[in-house]
Amino acid sequence: MAGLVLVAIGCTGGKGMSESRGAPLAPCPSSPNCVSSQAADAAHRVEPLALRAPATDVWPELTRAVASMPRTRIVAEQPGYLRAEATSLLFRFVDDLELALAADGRRLDVRSASRIGYSDLGANRKRVEALRTALRKAGVVE
């Protein structure tokens, strides 16, 4: 029986993160410490990243931009999916940043969420917009 429990836990994919191309990202909780391009409500919604080039051309710029963000490290990457962890400077809180290539291949869906706490004082929204700005400067997103 214990083996079955371990197998079931191992199949959940960790923190509820989606790791397949075109699949929905985990929904934001009701707390204001998460933003997602797949959220329906304005409080959590950010626009997806519209690609100006084929995803194969955008991906190297994306990984470079994420890796260059302060206190951020890429922890999972596979075709069409990237997950990074961003650690806050003062209290060392960890936020998760996810990017998933949409099934149509023309946009990246994005989700940034705090693992703990209620409010993030806008940190996740700022992170997504800083990434958008970096990718616009690189000329790979609109």
* Separation between Cα atoms, residue 4 and residue 117, nearest integer Å: 32
Mean local confidence (pLDDT), 116-130: 96
Q: Which letter does DSSP use for residue 82 in this model?
A: E
Mean local confidence (pLDDT), 97-121: 96
Query: Could you report the per-residue pLDDT of 50-97, keeping only the tens digit for each?
Result: 999 999 999 999 999 999 999 999 999 999 999 999 999 988 999 999
**Full-model pTM:** 0.83
All domains of the chain, ordered by start, with CATH? 35-137 (3.30.310.80)
Contact by Cβ (8 Å): 48, 128: no
* Separation between Cα atoms, residue 81 and residue 121, nearest integer Å: 27
Query: Could you report the per-residue pLDDT of 20-34, keeping only the tens digit for each?
Result: 456 689 999 999 999
pLDDT of residue 69: 98
Q: Where are the beta strands (DSSP E) in 7-115?
A: 34-36, 49-50, 72-78, 81-87, 94-101, 107-114
